Chain A
Amino acid sequence: MAEKKTLKTVSPHLHEEGQTIERAMKDVLIALVPAAIAALIVYGMNVVYIFAVSMITAALSEIVMRKIFKRKVTLGDMSAMVTAVLFAFLLPPTTPLWVVAIGCFISVAIGKELFGGLGKNIFNPALFGRVAIMLSPLWIYTAKFPKPFFWKSVGFFTPISVGIDETVAGRVVYQTLAGNPVNVVTSATPLSLLKSGKMLTNVVTGPTPVGATWVTSSGKPSLGSLFLGTQAGSIGEISILALLIGAIYLLYKRTIDWRIPAGMIGMFFFIMLVTWNHPLYQLFSGGLVLGAFYMATDWTTSPVSKRAKWIYAFGIGLFVALIRLVSPLPEGVAIAILHWNVLTLLLDRYIAEPKFGQVKKSWFNKLPSYAKTAPAQEKS
């Protein structure tokens, strides 16, 4: 009995049950289910095909990259699946499947694995892939959004994607997998409608009751339809209700930190209010809610300390508002978050968190004097 082998490890000897990377990633996937269902209802099976291609590409990309870099394949941690679903969420529902595959490869292989894998990446991988497509010649395939419930005219299960119209330069058409053109009505997103210069007052004071129809008399979606998800937009961003259900689950499970969505949405709301834009309409359209709860909160690419988290969150909210209000772009959540992903490292390094009982509270981290005078000790 006494000769039995026992483990000799460092304290602590207990570990919180269920506190693993896999569990957290699975929680994110669970939280994304309502939004995926909303997308399925509004856009039909097209979104499922995109999910499938994205997930398969993500898995293959991770396996290939890990083999190349001779790292252990860790598909089991589910992080590639989260990236795959989030990347798909950022695409229009009619993105050609080969574009999905390229974008997802960029997300996982370059955005994550090339930086060193989960935990080492600087950018949110899904946003990285999405913006890479946006800045490439492939952008044309992801620039048009079909009208909600377009599947009613072409069939729920029919794969529809965007193709280039060979007859008119720069024009795109909708087509089936076989390349036959189909008639699908394109719709402007609420934000591009706003960008086109029409004032918002119609939405606020318009005669249409909330949620009654999908557009108000002025031709813009009503607040209610935005909230439920009958709006033109990327797969995952349309239903605010579905996103909030998932967000509540993640907040309850403490997978994400409430400070980031609160700071980001708070700052955005405030700016929209003082610039006399309708804050709720702005909040419910575009990718702000998706970005605030599922993208900006990404563990690896957001700051760790509480003060830095607030600065990061306010910064993203400010950037999104500025891009929407004063830049030529209709939407800027992805770009704003990627900007602050970079600043995350600086915030973590320099913004100080006061220690317990610290009397002289400083806002900035300072190296102890011996480390400064003996730079040889510091390898960085």
Chain B
Amino acid sequence: MSTKGYKTFKGGIHPPYFKELACGKPITPAPLPDEIRIPMSQHVGAPNEPLVSAGDRVEVGQKIGESQAFISAPVHSSVSGTVKSVEEITVFTGAKAKAVIITPDAEQPAFSGSPAKPVGDLTPEDLRKIARDAGLVGMGGAAFPTHVKLTPPKDKPIDTVIINACECEPFLTCDHRTMLERPEDLIEGLLLLMKAVEAKRGIIGIEANKMDAVELMQRKASGKAELSVEILDVKYPEGAEKQLIFALTGRKVPPGKLPSEVGCLVQNVGTAVALYEAATIGKPLYERVVTVTGNGVKTPSNFLVKVGTPVSTLIEAAGGLVEGTEKVIMGGPMTGWAQADLNAPVVKGTSGIVALTAELVDVREEHACVRCGKCVDVCPMFLMPNFIVDAVKKEEWGKAEMWGALDCFECGCCSYTCPAYIPHVEYVRKAKAEISALKK
């Protein structure tokens, strides 16, 4: 099966994908842990304030954290149970965040809710409110609040909604499984997204290593003239927002601008399905599909996981770690966060848990840049990663910006291909923090 010759972008890399580990495993519910820990900030934007305190009863789907800020998304309890405490915990990034700790009941009731209105009567305004109330965020990893994306500037109408079904990160299969198991829900979710921004066209972009999903989605979308299913080259980062828009529409989002600049809205598979659930049964986003995989887990699996479940519960459910596992990553192996321990809870943006053994872990001491230019060749934003690193080392923040530090979305292609093993992303993050402090 060819994986090239389809639509794509310039730059990027071809890592090994290892999708076969988990792509054949149906989604099954993950076991319930003894303790659920739900961070109040699981998204880009303002953190929530907890609405409950120790000793309170909570029901599944109940709102437990909220913020008045526009760029924010509320969080909901993923279980029925009793609030044990509200305290600071360490989340997947290694940062501290306030969290509500819940002891779940032994017996969990099924979620019951009702739609605000019949789906056919929903207006764009209703849909934005539903997205916000359900706490929807981008489920591809970045976790940007969905209702913000559904509110484009008045002068920038959106004509195209793109479902990002590339799943270009190696190992992960949660979107693939969702498409195979819930194709109708995805199509309905896409139609709702189009309605919310009054777009005429909907595209589902799928990488060529998921041809079964392509065929299924094409069959389900047939007869709907406004929808199309497009096949994309298997290349990383095909699913990066700007690169995906370019590959599918030929439009280029300028540096520092949002997709609405070129009339596009991109949403992840999981987000579209979650919007469908929120609109039809009033279900907020409190559980998601998580791929637990890698050569470090015994039985790679796709689980339906309640937000707040610790990594250790899922690793155990997947048969445990094999001897010699050196890294456990939350998210994909290209952009995810390596975990020092297995205590961090799954959040709305957690697409996978990847455990790697020594065979796939290649960590070396950083060598001085040899100026080979490979990072420049692979950079999908056409930046100068090596010069950003150089500028950061000299603390020349103006130069770091000149070389494109602010345009970097941290895909990691540069470090992947760097013969000197330079961790560019680490330097870029430092540059971003320093530059934004300078500009204040």
Contacts and interface: CB of A to CB of B under 8 A. Distances in A.
Contacts of A169: none
B398 A372 contact: yes
Contact of A299 (B362, B373, B407): B373
A366 B402 contact: yes
A70 interface: no
Interface stretch (B52-60, B125-133, B272-280, B389-397): B389-397
A304 B376 contact: yes
A14 B425 contact: no
Contact of B328 (A6, A21, A24): A6
B376 A353 contact: yes
A119 B341 contact: no
Nearest to A118: B370
Given A367-B399, A371-B399, A10 B372 contact: no
Contacts of A20: 419, 421
Given A21-B419, A370-B438, A305 B376 contact: yes
A120 B340 contact: no
Contact of B399 (A9, A24, A299, A378): A378
A16 B426 CA distance: 18
A15 B333 CA distance: 10
A355 B340 contact: no
B367 interface: yes
Chain B's interface: helix, strand, loop or mixed, by majority? loop
A67 B324 CA distance: 36
A277 interface: no
B306 interface: no
B254 A358 contact: yes
Contact of A10 (B396, B413, B423): B423
A136 interface: no
Given A11-B336, A300-B370, A354 B382 contact: yes
B338 A8 contact: yes
Contacts of B340: 6, 8
Contacts of A353: 376, 382, 384
Given A119-B371, A356-B252, A13 B327 contact: yes
Contacts of B382: 353-356
Interface string A87-131: 000000000000000000000000000001111100000000000
A380 B329 CA distance: 38
Chain A's interface: helix, strand, loop or mixed, by majority? loop
Interface in B378-434: 380-384, 386-387, 394-399, 401-402, 404, 407, 410-413, 415-421, 423, 425-426, 429
A299 B386 contact: no
Contact of B339 (A8, A359, A380): A8
Size category of the A interface is 35 or more
A218 interface: no
Given A1-B321, A16-B417, A9 B423 contact: yes
Interface string A1-27: 111101111111111110111011000
A365 interface: yes
Contacts of B376: 304-306, 353
Contacts of A7: 326-327, 338, 361, 363
Contacts of A309: 373
B339 A379 contact: no
B255 A357 contact: yes
Contact of A357 (B242, B338, B394): B242
A4 B325 contact: yes
Nearest to A359: B254
B339 A12 contact: no
B398 A357 contact: no
Nearest to A22: B419
Given A6-B327, A117-B368, A299-B370, A370 B439 contact: yes
B374 interface: yes
B368 A6 contact: no
Given A1-B320, A10-B425, A24 B419 contact: yes
B327 A15 contact: no
B372 A24 contact: yes
Interface in A321-380: 348, 353-359, 365-368, 370-372, 374, 377-380
B50 interface: no
B397 A371 contact: yes
A118 B361 contact: no
Interface string B312-349: 10010000110001111101011111111110000000
Interface in B141-177: 170
Given A304-B373, A367-B398, A15 B416 contact: yes
Contacts of B315: 2
B44 to A, nearest CB: 17
Interface in A1-59: 1-4, 6-17, 19-21, 23-24
A275 B402 CA distance: 42
Nearest to A380: B396
B396 A299 contact: no
A377 B327 CA distance: 38
A118 B426 CA distance: 23
A377 B435 CA distance: 11
Contacts of B196: none
Nearest to A120: B368
Given A13-B333, A13-B338, A371-B399, 5 more contacts: A116-B368, A120-B368, A300-B371, A371-B397, A378-B396
14 contacts: A6-B327, A7-B361, A10-B338, A11-B331, A21-B420, A118-B367, A119-B367, A299-B371, A302-B371, A304-B384, A348-B387, A357-B253, A368-B398, A368-B402
Q: Return the 4 tightest CB-CB contacts between A and B, nearest first.
A: A371-B398, A12-B412, A357-B252, A119-B368
